[in-house]
Homo-oligomer: A and B are copies of this chain.
Amino acid sequence: MNMMRDINNINNFHEQVLRDPVHTYIHIKNPIIFNLVNTPEFQRLRRIKQLGPTSFVFFGATHTRFEHNLGVYELTRRICNIFTQKYATQQSDDGLWDPSNNLLVECAALLHDLGHGPYSHTFEHLFNTNHELMGQKIILDENTQINKILKQVSPDFPQKVASVIAKTYPNPQVVKLISSQADADRMDYLLRDAYFTGVSYGAFDLTRILDVIRPYKNGICFLDKGIHAVEDYIISRYQMYQQVYFHRIGRSMEVILHHLLQRAQEIYQRNDIKDFTVTPQLEAFLANKWSLEDYLALDDGVMETNFMLWTKSGDKILADLAGSYLYRHPLESVKVNNQTKYLIPKLNELIKNAGFDPQYYTATNSAFDEPYDAYKPTGKNAHSPIEIMENDGTLVELSELSPLVKALNGTVQGDERFFFPKTMIKSLGDVQLFQPLYSEFQSYINNNSLQDPQKIKGTDF
């Protein structure tokens, strides 16, 4: 675990072994990787949780983007090892693996999520940042230590690494190792998130997958004798989405986070509240004047430090939302769909009458995912199908061989929910005043879904 060896001498470099609860050990055999890990830009990922507000639901999920990036690196390193030993190219165009790509793809794996900031999804939406662009910038900007270390390999190495992450690097094997429907990125996050949330369903047989993964001309595929392990990986992904990533409480906390930051932004830009405090790290973003350096100074702790300050704010809504987030008071929610959405304005009216500004105390939020898609050749989320190689070298798309995957292929799983203050359905007993209003509100809800009260009555329960 000693990370203090000589940094500049490859020959002198002692392999570093880091203990990882998910992959047991992470082996760093190249000083370039070691030095990348030791940069401020990479160490900063220790302070950004991998799953953000999900740790409010699964309290074990305090793991960070630091260890996920290391995990993706480690899986990639193992795959490169396997490819180099079993499938090293002999002649150009034989569709095998060129081991001279190893360091490139290992660096790309390590840095693939380098651009993430705190609560990426919410933050990016409000402050016009973009973790993919920021990742490219950190790699390519000459002032970062990451860039300096990558350039030790060759002057164009930063650009190469960036292009692998951007999926524009010409060799599809290299790109797909970290960006496809069965890549090192997904494999690591499913296993890691399963481990730290404690949701055992997310585990799958990585050992077997590594046994049967292989390169072919246009990318990566799996030998047919390991099809059960690949099938199980798809199922694990489905289950993690259903149970963890789409959990209604996690989404509720994200809604609060969004409204809280939005409120802060508005207050700052109106510049009308005297007792609004903000630390320098966040102020640049509220002011909409931020640099790469500002971006690198952000982390979860900075955000929460500001939220803590805001609980004392004279702005009631800001203070309330800050407390709701820090002390975990989620909004309640019900399912909605296209048939019931028309009822939301009516509900918002009731919520307003009960004293809540719907802009800050309600939201409609969708969470949908395609567990697997064999047929999405183009577009922003384009991804190639998972291919299985039969004994004779023929490639067959996964869902043709697995009835379970066929069933999931192309489907969309998830739901849309309407979020609102808990008090609308769980009044604390002491407020007689709003009781009729609450009752009316509750008449719109049946079995966790929004419904027209007229129709509910009509069913003669």
Give the B-binding residues of A (Cβ under 8 A): 1-9, 17-22, 24-25, 38-40, 43-44, 46-47, 49, 55, 57-60, 62-64, 66-67, 70, 195-201, 203, 205, 207-208, 211, 225, 228, 231-232, 235, 238-239, 242-243, 247, 249, 277, 279-281, 297, 299-305, 308-309, 323, 326-330, 332, 390-392, 394, 403-404, 406-408, 411, 413, 422, 426, 428-429, 447-448
Let me know if B327 and A38 touch, CB within 8 A. yes
Instruction: Report A12 CB to chain B, min CB distance, Å.
Output: 10
Let me know if B304 and A20 touch, CB within 8 A. no
Q: Point out the residues of chain B lying under 8 angstroms from A47, CB to CB.
A: 301, 304
Q: Point out the residues of chain B lying under 8 angstroms from A17, CB to CB.
A: 211, 225
**Known contacts A60-B63, A308-B297, A327-B38: does B207 contact A228 (CB below 8 Å)?**
no
Instruction: Tell me the bound Cα distance from A394 to B459 in angstroms.
Output: 14
| Listed A/B pairs (27) with beta-carbon separation below 8 Å | A1-B57, A1-B58, A4-B330, A6-B428, A6-B429, A17-B211, A21-B195, A21-B197, A22-B60, A38-B329, A43-B328, A44-B326, A59-B64, A59-B66, A62-B63, A200-B205, A201-B228, A228-B242, A231-B239, A235-B404, A277-B280, A279-B305, A279-B309, A299-B301, A301-B305, A403-B411, A406-B407
Instruction: Report A50 CB to chain B, min CB distance, Å.
Output: 10
Q: Point out the residues of chain B lying under 8 angstroms from A195, CB to CB.
A: 21
Instruction: Report A362 CB to chain B, min CB distance, Å.
Output: 16
Q: Point out the residues of chain B lying under 8 angstroms from A299, CB to CB.
A: 301, 304, 308
Let me know if A447 and B391 touch, CB within 8 A. yes
Of chain B, the residue at the smallest CB distance from A390 is: B447
Instruction: Tell me the bound Cα distance from A434 to B211 in angstroms.
Output: 37
Let me know if B243 and A228 touch, CB within 8 A. yes
Q: Point out the residues of chain B lying under 8 angstroms from A38, CB to CB.
A: 327-329
Of chain B, the residue at the smallest CB distance from A297 is: B308
Instruction: Report A363 CB to chain B, min CB distance, Å.
Output: 16
Let me know if B403 and A21 touch, CB within 8 A. no
Of chain B, the residue at the smallest CB distance from A208 is: B25
Let me know if B392 and A403 touch, CB within 8 A. no
Task: Indicate the member of A38, A59, A66 with the most B CB atoms within 10 Å.
Answer: A59
Q: Point out the residues of chain B lying under 8 angstroms from A228, CB to CB.
A: 201, 239, 242-243
Of chain B, the residue at the smallest CB distance from A305 is: B305
Instruction: Tell me the bound Cα distance from A7 to B428 in angstroms.
Output: 7
User: Ordered nearest first, which 5 A-B pairs have the shortest CB separation?
Assistant: A301-B301, A407-B407, A21-B198, A62-B62, A305-B305
Instruction: Tell me the bound Cα distance from A249 to B18 in angstroms.
Output: 13
Q: Point out the residues of chain B lying under 8 angstroms from A46, CB to CB.
A: 55, 59, 328
Q: Point out the residues of chain B lying under 8 angstroms from A208, CB to CB.
A: 25
Q: Point out the residues of chain B lying under 8 angstroms from A428, CB to CB.
A: 6-8
Q: Point out the residues of chain B lying under 8 angstroms from A297, CB to CB.
A: 308
Let me know if B327 and A58 touch, CB within 8 A. no
Let me know if B199 and A19 touch, CB within 8 A. yes
Of chain B, the residue at the smallest CB distance from A402 is: B242
Of chain B, the residue at the smallest CB distance from A413 is: B403
Let me know if A326 and B447 touch, CB within 8 A. no
Q: Point out the residues of chain B lying under 8 angstroms from A21, CB to CB.
A: 60, 195-198
Instruction: Report A35 CB to chain B, min CB distance, Å.
Output: 12
Q: Point out the residues of chain B lying under 8 angstroms from A332, CB to CB.
A: 4
Instruction: Report A449 CB to chain B, min CB distance, Å.
Output: 11
Let me know if B429 and A20 touch, CB within 8 A. no
Let me know if B60 and A211 touch, CB within 8 A. no
Of chain B, the residue at the smallest CB distance from A405 is: B407
Of chain B, the residue at the smallest CB distance from A323 is: B40
Instruction: Tell me the bound Cα distance from A422 to B330 in angstroms.
Output: 47
